[in-house]
Structure formats: structure tokens, C-alpha cells
Structure 1
Amino acid sequence: MAGEQGFFDYFYAAPDGLRLHARLYGESNSGHWPVVCLPGLTRNARDFHELALYLSTRPVAPRKVVAFDYRGRGQSAYDPDISHYNIGVEAGDILAGLAALGIEEAAFIGTSRGGLIIHVLGALRPAVLKAIVFNDIGPVIEPAGLAHIQSYLGSKPTPKTHAQAIAAQRSVHGKDFTALGGPDWDRMVWALYRETDSGLVPDFDPRLVDILAGLDLTQRLPDLWPQFEALSKVPLLAIRGANSRLLSIATLQEMRKRHPDIETINVEGQGHAPFLETDKMPDAIAAFLDRTERRADSE
């Protein structure tokens, strides 16, 4: 049974020995595919809390959900070597966590960087992927979107209170997330920050900001089309925020052309990346997983 908050904390060792963390929701023997949730660059497992509760407690087809903290985020240890903050190492960390949990196959939900890691997992361990949900990510990243992320992470706001943190996030993201209400912003701040004696601080290794700041966005970013096409046999749900600066409409259209089993959702009033617990998306994600699993069982 899950803890009072609906989950258990789980700690395991990365291949290099670093102590890493994940949240576990739901029963391990539900009889349905587990779901693995992978967050964005500086985000953590808390981003998936509401969605994970929903997927793990549904009366029909409840699922075990594993939400990971990458190294340097959330409750995972910070890495003394910042060169290890890359999607290749992080993909290896996820595989180590799945091995420790005895999970050989699962449905994967990847927000932003989480989707990039799924591309890598498709090359390293394709059999582990039973279904994929990409949240505002694809094989092409728009430089304007990364520049926006560089800008707001580089500003390093130092809110002292929860209310100040909400105000700071609204000032940066409000124009892109017009559909959000007060409770949504509250959950965002709860997931992003942790409390310290000197106030609230973002819950990630601050050196991640320095790595991102070092990217030269005047140069064309490498795409992942070959890795994306290698996922063509895995059912895919691609979610895009209508105001996204990172995933373009053109890229999403090209994804439709190149993937024979893709469904898409456009989330009005949200940017990068849509909040997966809003706008009826939990129902849509659950329905996609149910359809995909039923079809796989019948084949």
C-alpha cells in the first residue's frame, strides 16, 4: 500500500554509485503496464504527483507509477562532476532504477528533457518501451524556446515566501499559460521550490543553469529524427502546448508523417510544458494507455 501521501520514496544507486530517488505510486501487481514519468531539465518527480495519483488509483486499470528525480534534482544527490548532467548518463540512471525495481517494460511519459531521454532509451533498450507520451517535446528543439529557458533560469529569482514565488513564476510564464488558475500556480511552486532557512530555492543543482547558459544558440541544434524514427513501432501520444516555444507546429506535423501510430493533443492556453493534471489530460492519457494495452494484448 502507498504511504499517506499516496506514494513511497525509493532510493537506489546509479551505475557510478550516486544515490538517486524516485517516487512509487500504486500496487506493483496491478496486472497493467507500469508508468514511468520523466521530468524536464530542472524539474523533479513532484511535477507528476497529481497525474500519478490519478493513474495509480483509478477503479479501472490502476497502474503502478514511478516518477524519477534525475541526479542533481529533487531528492537525488548532486553530482560532483557536472559533465554527468547529460541525457546519456541520465538514461543509464533510469535503466538502473528500473532494474532495481524489477521493471522490464512500461509506458513512459516524458516532459521536455524526459522526452529526449526516451529517445535515448529507444536506442539503448527498445524493448522497455510499451507506449510513449511526449509532453511538449520532439526530435527538434526550437532555439527560441531554449533561449527563453536560458533567460528565466539565468535570472535566478530569490523569493522568500510561497506568494512571492508564485508572483515570480506568473511574471515569467503568465503570457504563455493563460489557462492556469491560482491552484495551478500553487502546485507549480510547490513542485519547483524547496524551503531553506534563507527562504525558497529551486530544487536542483544550480550548476545546471551554468551548463544551459553555455549553449551557443546561434548554431543549429542537432535533431533526433533517426532516434525518433526508431520509435515508430511504439504507440505515441504527443502533447503540445498551443503557446509552446520549444516544440513547433511544423515539427509536430513532421512527427505525424514519420510515425505510423501517433495521436496528438493541442492544449490551449498553455506553453512549455503543459501541466498534465489539467485540461482533462489525465483522462486522455489514461484512455491512450488503456487502448494501447488492450490492442497489445489482442495481438
Structure 2
Amino acid sequence: MKNGEIIYQSRDGLNLFAKSFGPEDADLTVLCLHGLTRNHKDFVPMIQSLGNHRRYIAIDVRGRGRSDRDQDPSKYRLDVYVQDVLDLLAIVKPSKLVLIGTSMGGLMSLLLSQMLSQELLGVVLNDVGPKLEQAGLERIAGYVGNFIEHDSWEDAALAVEKSQHSAFPNFRHDDWMKFAKRTHKENQDGKIVLDYDPAIAESLKNIEADISVEMQTWALFASTFKRPLLVVRGEISDLFSSDTAVKMVHRHGRANVISVSNVGHAPILDEPICVKTIESFLKKLELGQ
């Protein structure tokens, strides 16, 4: 590990990347799992806003960011991603762990909740739950894999604004530029491109909300019942409904939910209500409450 960079190998030979922030010997490790088309940089605004005495590890799931692209697109699926995370945890060996998962990363967190034992103290799910809304799924499927080479960061920021404006109606130009720099990279030709493998779009073909899958995911959600849970929902999210959030809190018994005003899918987690609530959630876990 160098300058907080963790590079490790998957069981099938890919070089995978994670970024560590904060003291390595911290009592608590917060593992941050990003959404479908994002990467570890998605969590930098949140990490910079939270207490710096903890260790935060934000990963690049295979096919994203600085992790290798997989030559076999069929491996872009949750069970493979989770195995990669387990391999990382075997290296890091945290004694106390909290998961923060956004969208796809939240689904990964549900699977990990079932697999991890006493070291997992709690989970934060960001705009995701056992039931996903068809409108949101179709919107995401509509833009994933649409790769356009931009001549400048300004052009990339304008493109991001066009595709994401409905989720962040209060964003200004500076916000869109920061968003573009978290989700894009400069390629060898000097063009600005999205920072993920377009082949991940294969997993979204003909995607639809399926009742049998939903039932299985609700059953999987039960794995969170033995630990504190914080549910974050974007107030205008088209993927994660308020009804599902309420049902999750009711079934869990000791979960809390917060709504991020005038934000859709998915909150950045540096919004004031998120920073305040996540900090309080982590502090309580550190104190054993």
C-alpha cells in the first residue's frame, strides 16, 4: 500500500484498487461501496465532511475507476463483486467495520451483511432497498454504456448535467464540474470519457422489476436485523420509493431513515443532513450504543 492506495488481486487475476483515508490503525473502518457506474471518488465529498479519526476505505469495483476491466462481462454481477470485497477485507482485517453502500453498493452490503460476523457493527444504505422502481431502472438502463468522447471537461460537465439534472435540480455549474471529474477520466488521446467499462451495460439489458427477485431481496434484507441500520433516501428518487423505505424501517425494528430534500438518485452524502446523521450513527457504533 502506498499513499493510501490499496492494489490487490482478485481470485481470477484482476488487479483491483481501493483508496484508504485516515489512520490505518483507527478503531473503526468504514467501507464505502459505490453505485453501478461510479467509483471510489464518489465518496470523497462525504469522507472530507466526516470525522477524520476513522479509517475510510472506498473501493473501485472491477470494471470501474482504477480497477481492471474484466474481459468476461458475465462477471459484472453482485456475487463476484462481493467476493472481491471479501478478498480485500482478508487483507485489511478490520476489527470493527461499518458498510456504506450507494445503490448497487447497497445491494452488495445486504449480501455482505449475511456473510460477515461480529466485526460488522452497522450498515448505511443510500437510496436503495429490496424493492426497486421500474421507472428508475429504465432511466438508468437508458444512459449506462452511452460513451461519448468529450473534447474538454466543460463539455463533460454539460453532458453530466443533461443526464442527471432531474436528480440534482439545485446543482450549479461548479457542482456539475465536480461531478464530471468524479465520474470521468482523460484517455490516452486527451479526450474526456466515462470512467467505467461500457460492457457493464450488458447486465442491464431487458432489466425490469421482478416480484420473485424482490421477495428474495426482502429475505436477504433480514440479515441486517441484528445490526443498526441507517437508510438514506433522496426525496425525489425514482428508484427507491418512500413506501419501501418506511417498510424497511418497520421490518427492521431499530432502523432510522432520513430524506434528503430535493435530491433524487442518489444523494452524494455530503449534504448537511447526511453528514450530521451519518456522523451521529458512526459515533454511536464506536461507543457501542
TM-score category, normalised to shorter length: over 0.9
Give the CA deviation at 1:54. 3.3
Matches of 1:281 and 1:216, distance apart in 2: 30
* Contact 2:111-2:220 within 8 A present in 1 as well: yes
Q: Does 1:277 align with 2:270?
A: yes
Instruction: Call closer, same or farther: CA 1:270–1:93 in 2, change over 3 Å.
Output: same
Give the CA deviation at 1:113. 0.3
Q: Please name the residue that 1:234 is paired with.
A: 227
What percentage of residue pairs aligned between the two structures are identical? 33
Moved more, 196-205 or 84-93: 196-205
Q: Please name the residue that 1:250 is paired with.
A: 243
Letter in 1 for 2:186: E
Q: Please name the residue that 2:50 is paired with.
A: 55
Give the CA deviation at 1:104. 4.2
Moved more, 85-94 or 145-154: 145-154
Matches of 2:212 and 2:242, distance apart in 1: 17
Q: Please name the residue that 2:40 is paired with.
A: 45
* TM-score of the pair, normalised by structure 1: 0.90
Q: Does 1:119 align with 2:110?
A: yes
* Contact 2:46-2:275 within 8 A present in 1 as well: yes
* Contact 1:170-1:185 within 8 A present in 2 as well: yes
Matches of 2:132 and 2:45, distance apart in 1: 27
Give the CA deviation at 1:55. 3.2
Which stretches of structure 1, 4 residues or longer, exceed 4 Å deviation after superposition? 218-221
* Contact 1:23-1:45 within 8 A present in 2 as well: yes
Moved more, 283-292 or 230-239: 283-292
* Contact 1:45-1:74 within 8 A present in 2 as well: yes
Matches of 2:73 and 2:39, distance apart in 1: 18
The DSSP-based 3-state class of the residue aligned with 2:288 is helix
1:34 to 4, 26, 29: 29
Matches of 1:56 and 1:98, distance apart in 2: 22
The DSSP-based 3-state class of the residue aligned with 2:245 is helix
Give the unaligned 5+ runs of structure 1: none
Matches of 1:66 and 1:218, distance apart in 2: 31
Matches of 2:147 and 2:9, distance apart in 1: 30
Q: Does 1:86 align with 2:77?
A: yes
Q: Does 1:199 align with 2:191?
A: yes
Letter in 2 for 1:101: V
1:167 to 155, 158, 169: 158
Q: Please name the residue that 2:167 is paired with.
A: 176
The one-character-per-residue Cα deviations of 1:66-97 (angstroms, maximum 9, x if unpaired) are: 00001111000111111111110100100100
Instruction: Call closer, same or farther: CA 1:69–1:154 in 2, change over 3 Å.
Output: closer
Matches of 2:264 and 2:89, distance apart in 1: 30
Give the unaligned 5+ runs of structure 2: none
The one-character-per-residue Cα deviations of 1:12-59 (angstroms, maximum 9, x if unpaired) are: 11122211000000112233x1100000011100011122233352xx
Report how many residues are paired. Answer: 286
The one-character-per-residue Cα deviations of 1:148-203 (angstroms, maximum 9, x if unpaired) are: 00112254343221111111111122122123233322221111000011511111
Moved more, 177-186 or 105-114: 177-186
The DSSP-based 3-state class of the residue aligned with 1:93 is helix
Matches of 2:287 and 2:122, distance apart in 1: 12
Give the CA deviation at 1:217. 2.1
Instruction: Call closer, same or farther: CA 1:99–1:56 in 2, change over 3 Å.
Output: farther
Cα RMSD (Å) of the superposition? 1.9
Matches of 2:246 and 2:259, distance apart in 1: 12
Give the CA deviation at 1:121. 0.8
1:209 to 197, 201, 204: 201
The DSSP-based 3-state class of the residue aligned with 1:132 is strand
The DSSP-based 3-state class of the residue aligned with 1:185 is helix
* Contact 1:44-1:73 within 8 A present in 2 as well: yes
* TM-score of the pair, normalised by structure 2: 0.93
* Contact 1:143-1:221 within 8 A present in 2 as well: no
